[in-house]
């Protein structure tokens, strides 16, 4: 029997690789002679870098400017291909993530994506011909302007002065000086993992929908939304491109700047990462798939990695078992995605706190129990 073990992270408890190891341990207790292939997955958010490294990409580290100017160490991944090209994988949370910033109204206004732009510059310097951007977990609402600043763009106010970094200053931008913009932006292929369809601005835009989780109160959200609206106007004047499109509101509007100044494509996160890491090839020949994540809920059903993987397995006729920290959807919901059995850590751990503290132990246990009962 060949078992493909491909979980996403158990946020706050286990990385995807750690989860895969725990699931494998539980599976081999029941099927000791099975071939257990461990393959961490992600859907373009946090964990994308880990999935790329697990698939053979080289991990690199750069010191960059964090979302509120404090320096941070940010990892990214790189791999050359046989045709002479090279792919870089950049996870925005590494450089410009909310984990690097306290979510307050003041920080929501000043947060920026400059550090992510520095990683893009490092990838270009390394010879990347394709750059994959996983944009989950972002701290800023700056429309990607900070990243372009790191790549040579100068946003100017009406007096010709460079405006400060951060989404709170975007309403002041009257024009952009592109004379110093890195010319390599037009030659590299940008692929941005996006799993939301929110526009750049407006009631359903980046500031109003996602700003609050980054610390924005109602007043700050209005300022940020006005800034994004103005930034879209400035970008349109500079490039002739309308960037207020579905998906541009992801990651604080980050895609907007790259839709304007490069040939960036917005892609469904799971499909992008699956193709990048070779997941679909791993599916072929599997007799069983075991996947899961920390919280399996209604958001999971919208195309997050474990459910998207289950759909792909179902299309090939491969049964799927789901193991999660907690399961907040019905067996019927899961069955529609080809899941034949599921278990949660809360079923085997004595308390939620214990499930988090000793997640690997209970994940292995839950896996062996669900396999014995399947």
pLDDT value for 225: 98
Does any domain span residue 51?
Answer: no
Do 71 and 189 sit in the same domain of this protein?
yes
- 240-263: buried (b, 16+ CB within 10 Å) or exposed (e) per residue? eeebbbebbbbbbbbbbbbbbbbe
The C-alpha angle 207, 108, 261, rounded to 5 degrees, equals 60
The C-alpha angle 333, 339, 345, rounded to 5 degrees, equals 85
247: DSSP letter: T
Q: What is the CA radius of gyration of the chain?
A: 21
CATH of the domain at 200: 3.90.1510.10
Residue whose entry in the numeric block shows the structure tokens 């309308």: 242
Last residue of a domain, one of 238, 269, 300: 269
Q: Is 71 exposed, middle or buried (0-12, 13-18, 19+ CB in 10 A)?
A: exposed
Among residues 173, 172, 171, 165, the alpha carbon closest in space to that of 111 is found at 165
Do 141 and 216 sit in the same domain of this protein?
yes
Do 264 and 125 sit in the same domain of this protein?
yes
Main-chain dihedrals φ then ψ at residue 13, nearest 5 degrees: -130, -55
CATH of the domain at 331: 3.40.50.10350
pLDDT digits (tens, 9 = 90+) for 265-312: 999 999 999 998 999 899 998 999 999 999 999 888 887 899 999 999
Do 183 and 295 sit in the same domain of this protein?
no
Does any domain span residue 275?
Answer: no
Does any domain span residue 196?
Answer: yes
pLDDT digits (tens, 9 = 90+) for 238-256: 999 999 999 999 999 999 9
pLDDT above 70: percentage of residues in the chain: 100
pLDDT digits (tens, 9 = 90+) for 163-180: 999 999 999 999 999 999
- Report DSSP letters for 199-237, one per residue: -SSSTTSHHHHHGGGGT--HHHHHHHHHHHHHHHHHHHH
Neighbours of 99 (CB within 10 A): 12
Under 8 Å between Cβ of 141 and 252: yes
**Mean pLDDT (the chain, rounded):** 95
Whether the predicted pLDDT of 374 surpasses 80: no
Which two structure tokens, joined as six digits, stand for 173?
A: 């931008």
Total tally of structural domains belonging to the chain = 2
Do 32 and 72 sit in the same domain of this protein?
no
Last residue of a domain, one of 269, 290, 325: 269
pLDDT value for 195: 84
Do 92 and 222 sit in the same domain of this protein?
yes
Kindly state the average pLDDT of the residues 173-199: 95
Does any domain span residue 7?
Answer: yes
pLDDT value for 83: 86
Do 294 and 264 sit in the same domain of this protein?
no
Alpha carbons 253 and 198: distance in angstroms, whole number: 9
pLDDT digits (tens, 9 = 90+) for 10-61: 988 999 999 999 999 999 999 999 999 999 998 888 889 999 998 899 999 9
Kindly state the average pLDDT of the residues 103-112: 98
Res. 69 pLDDT band, cuts 50 70 90: confident
pLDDT value for 264: 96
Does any domain span residue 35?
Answer: yes
Do 30 and 69 sit in the same domain of this protein?
no
Backbone conformation region of residue 21, classed left if phi is above 0, alpha if psi is from -120 to 50, else beta = alpha
Do 332 and 231 sit in the same domain of this protein?
no
Sign of the Cα pseudo-torsion (110, 115, 116, 121, in order): positive
Do 254 and 290 sit in the same domain of this protein?
no
CB hemisphere CA count around 143 (13 angstroms): 33
Does any domain span residue 338?
Answer: yes
Sign of the Cα pseudo-torsion (137, 100, 200, 76, in order): negative
Res. 325 pLDDT band, cuts 50 70 90: very high
Among residues 266, 205, 267, 209, the alpha carbon closest in space to that of 230 is found at 205
Last residue of a domain, one of 269, 299, 328: 269
Does any domain span residue 232?
Answer: yes
Do 357 and 235 sit in the same domain of this protein?
no
Per the structure, the complete domain to which residue 31 belongs is given by 2-40+282-373
Do 110 and 157 sit in the same domain of this protein?
yes
Does any domain span residue 227?
Answer: yes
């Amino acid at each position: 029997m060949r078992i493909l073990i491909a979980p996403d992270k158990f946020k706050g408890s286990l990385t995807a690789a750690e989860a895969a190891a725990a699931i494998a341990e539980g599976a081999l207790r029941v099927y000791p002679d099975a071939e257990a292939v461990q393959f961490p997955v992600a859907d373009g958010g946090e964990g994308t870098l880990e999935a790329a490294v697990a698939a053979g990409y080289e991990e690199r580290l750069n010191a960059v400017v964090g979302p509120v100017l404090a320096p941070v160490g940010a990892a990214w991944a790189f791999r050359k291909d046989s045709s002479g090209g090279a792919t870089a994988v950049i996870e925005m949370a590494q450089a410009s993530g909310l984990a690097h910033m306290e979510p307050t109204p003041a920080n929501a206004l000043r947060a920026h994506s400059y550090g992510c732009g520095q990683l893009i510059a490092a990838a270009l310097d390394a010879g990347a011909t394709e750059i994959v951007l996983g944009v989950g977990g972002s701290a800023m609402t700056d429309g990607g302007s900070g990243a372009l600043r790191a790549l040579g763009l100068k946003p100017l106010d009406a007096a010709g002065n460079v405006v400060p970094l951060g989404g709170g200053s975007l309403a002041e931008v009257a024009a952009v000086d592109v004379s110093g913009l890195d010319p390599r932006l037009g030659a590299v292929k940008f692929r941005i993992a996006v799993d939301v369809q929110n526009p750049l601005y407006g009631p359903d835009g980046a500031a109003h929908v996602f700003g609050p989780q980054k610390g924005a109160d109602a007043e700050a959200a209005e300022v940020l939304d006005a800034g994004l609206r103005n930034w879209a106007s400035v970008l349109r004047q500079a490039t002739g491109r309308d960037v207020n499109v579905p998906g541009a509101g992801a990651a604080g509007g980050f895609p907007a700047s790259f839709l304007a100044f490069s040939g960036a494509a917005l892609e469904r996160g799971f499909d992008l990462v699956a193709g990048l890491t070779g997941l679909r090839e791993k599916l072929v020949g599997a007799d069983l798939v075991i996947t899961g994540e920390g919280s399996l809920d209604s958001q999971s059903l919208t195309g997050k990695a474990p459910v998207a993987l289950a759909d792909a397995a179902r299309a090939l006729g491969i049964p799927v078992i789901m193991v999660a920290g907690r399961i907040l959807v019905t067996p019927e919901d899961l069955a529609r995605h080809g899941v034949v059995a599921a278990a949660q850590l809360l079923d085997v751990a004595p308390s939620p706190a214990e499930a988090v503290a000793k997640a690997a132990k209970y994940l292995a246990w839950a896996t062996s129990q669900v396999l014995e009962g399947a």
